[in-house]
Amino acid sequence: MGKILFLAAISIVAIGFGIPALTLYFNVYHGFDSLISGIIIFIALLVACALGVVGMALTTEEIGYSDGLSSSEREKLNMMRAHQRATLEEMDEIIELLKEIRDILKTVGE
């Protein structure tokens, strides 16, 4: 994991900061066209963002969050999931109740 994360970070820094800095240098000191340098900088930042997303996806895939959990942590996680499910079911019931109240108020208002 460390190697991929390190390579992704180096690539992002090199492309995200290095290319725009070099482009601005050539723009200021060597008369490079500003429109072309703006396009190059924009493309470099897009590529750096894409590499960042891919790098994060690869590193989180390698970590494997569920593999390193102990039995007590898994139990707590399952309890939290059950609590979240129960909360969502209660919210669904509340939504249905509010829809019924809305319908009753509409019929009374007419």
The model's pLDDT over 11-56, given as tens digits with 9 standing for 90+, comes to 888 888 999 999 999 999 988 888 999 999 999 999 999 988 888 7
56-65 residue pLDDT tens: 777 765 555 5
Give the orientation angle of helix 34-63 with respect to helix 2-13, to 10 degrees: 170
Plot region of 70 (φ>0 → left; ψ -120 to 50 → alpha; else → beta): beta
φ, ψ at 70 (rounded to 5°)? -80, 175
pTM beyond 0.75: no
Nearest to 14 by CA among 44, 56, 53, 36: 44
